[in-house]
Amino acid sequence: MRPAFLFAFLVAPCSLFGQEAPRCAWDAAPFATPYCAELVATPDLATVKGMLELRWVPTPFGVAVRPDGQLRHRLVARFRGLPAPATLGGRVFVAWGYDLTHREEVRLGVVTNGSTSLGELPFEYFRVIVSAESSATVSTRRGRLVARATSPNSLMLSHRDAMAPMLVTSTATAEHAHHGASAEEWPTPPNDPRIAPAAMQHTPPSTAAWRPDSTGREVVPHRSREMVRLRHNDTLSLTAGLVRRSVGGRTVLMYGYNGQSPGPLIEVERGTEVVVHFTNRLDVATTVHWHGLRLENRSDGVPGHPAPAVEPGGSFTYRLRFPDAGIYWYHPHVREDIQQDLGLYGNISVGERGASPGRQEVLALDDVQLDDRGQLMPWGADTASHALMGRFGNLLLVNGEPAWRMTVSQGEVVRLALTNVANARTFNLRLPGARMKLVASDVSAFERESWVESIVLAPAERYVVDVRFDSAGVVPLVNSVRWLDHMRGTTAPAEDTLGTVMVSRAPRHANDTFERLGERRDVQREIAAVVAQAPRTPQHTLTLGMRLKDVTPQTVAMLTGIAIPMDWNDAMPMMNWALSAREVAWTLRDEVGRENMQISWRFRTGEVARIRLVSDPGATHAMAHPIHFHGQRFVVVSRNGVPVPNRAWKDTALLPAGETMDILLELTNPGTWMMHCHVAEHLGTGMMGMFVVEGRDRVK
Q: Check residue 188 and give its pLDDT.
A: 85
Q: Check residue 200 and give its pLDDT.
A: 56
pLDDT per position as a tens digit, 544-599: 999 999 888 777 777 765 557 888 999 888 889 999 999 999 999 999 999 999 99
Claim to verify: residue 136 and residue 220 sit in the same structural domain: no
Claim to verify: residue 150 and residue 213 sit in the same structural domain: no
| Among 323, 351, 379, residue at a domain's last position | 351
Calpha distance 297→671 (Å, rounded): 5
| Among 159, 184, 216, residue at a domain's last position | 159
Rg, Å, the chain Cα set: 26
Output DSSP code: residue 299: G
Claim to verify: residue 217 and residue 153 sit in the same structural domain: no
Percent of the chain with pLDDT strictly greater than 90: 72
Q: Check residue 184 and give its pLDDT.
A: 58
What pLDDT band is residue 177 in, cutting at 50, 70 and 90? very low
On whether residue 609 sits in a domain, the answer given is yes
333 against 161, higher pLDDT: 333
Claim to verify: residue 225 and residue 337 sit in the same structural domain: yes
Claim to verify: residue 215 and residue 87 sit in the same structural domain: no
**How many structural domains does the chain have?**
3
Q: SS3 string of 421-434?
A: CCCCCCEEEECCCC
Claim to verify: residue 127 and residue 227 sit in the same structural domain: no
What pLDDT band is residue 485 in, cutting at 50, 70 and 90? confident
Q: What is the mean pLDDT of residues 113-125?
A: 91
Claim to verify: residue 115 and residue 224 sit in the same structural domain: no
Calpha distance 572→159 (Å, rounded): 14
- Strand blocks (E) in 486-521: 490-504
Calpha distance 111→93 (Å, rounded): 6
- Greatest Cα pair distance, the chain, in angstroms, is 86
Calpha distance 143→78 (Å, rounded): 20
Q: What is the mean pLDDT of residues 212-237?
A: 95
pLDDT per position as a tens digit, 131-157: 999 999 999 999 999 999 988 777 655
On whether residue 435 sits in a domain, the answer given is no
What pLDDT band is residue 158 in, cutting at 50, 70 and 90? low
| Among 351, 380, 398, residue at a domain's last position | 351
On whether residue 402 sits in a domain, the answer given is no
Provide the CATH number for the domain around residue 661: 2.60.40.420
On whether residue 55 sits in a domain, the answer given is yes
On whether residue 456 sits in a domain, the answer given is no
Number of residues assigned to the chain: 700
On whether residue 541 sits in a domain, the answer given is yes
Region label for 335, one of left (φ > 0), alpha (ψ between -120 and 50) or beta (otherwise): left
Claim to verify: residue 339 and residue 212 sit in the same structural domain: yes
357 against 135, higher pLDDT: 135
What pLDDT band is residue 17 in, cutting at 50, 70 and 90? very low
Residue 647 near residue 447 (C-beta atoms within 8 A): yes
416 against 620, higher pLDDT: 416
Burial class from Cβ neighbours inside 10 Å (0-12, 13-18, 19+) for residue 356 reads: exposed
Is 661 a residue whose pLDDT tops 50?
yes
Claim to verify: residue 674 and residue 539 sit in the same structural domain: yes
| DSSP codes, 262-309 | S--EEEEETT-EEEEEEEE-SSS-B--EEET----GGGS--TTSSSPP
Claim to verify: residue 217 and residue 106 sit in the same structural domain: no
What pLDDT band is residue 308 in, cutting at 50, 70 and 90? very high
From the DSSP assignment, how many helices (H) and strands (E) are in the chain?
Answer: 7, 45
The SS3 of residue 194 is coil
On whether residue 324 sits in a domain, the answer given is yes
559 against 377, higher pLDDT: 377
Is 293 a residue whose pLDDT tops 50?
yes
Calpha distance 349→363 (Å, rounded): 11
The pTM of this model reads 0.92
What pLDDT band is residue 36 in, cutting at 50, 70 and 90? confident
Claim to verify: residue 140 and residue 277 sit in the same structural domain: no
Helix (H) or strand (E) holding 267: strand 265-269
Q: Check residue 563 and give its pLDDT.
A: 59
Closest among 690, 687, 540 to 613, alpha carbons compared: 540
What pLDDT band is residue 354 in, cutting at 50, 70 and 90? low
- Hey, how many other C-beta atoms are within 10 angstroms of the C-beta on 684? 28
173 against 261, higher pLDDT: 261
Q: What is the mean pLDDT of residues 342-356?
A: 88
Is 2 a residue whose pLDDT tops 90?
no
53 against 236, higher pLDDT: 236
Calpha distance 482→124 (Å, rounded): 9
pLDDT per position as a tens digit, 505-539: 977 666 678 999 999 999 999 999 999 999 999 99
On whether residue 618 sits in a domain, the answer given is yes
Claim to verify: residue 124 and residue 242 sit in the same structural domain: no
Residue 478 near residue 430 (C-beta atoms within 8 A): yes
pLDDT per position as a tens digit, 420-461: 999 999 999 999 999 999 999 999 999 999 999 999 999 999
Calpha distance 685→688 (Å, rounded): 9
What domain range is 660 assigned to?
Answer: 525-694
Q: What is the mean pLDDT of residues 611-617?
A: 92
Close Cβ partners of 665 (under 8 Å, ≥ 6 residues apart): 608, 609, 610, 611, 629, 632, 634
Strands 379-380 and 209-210: antiparallel
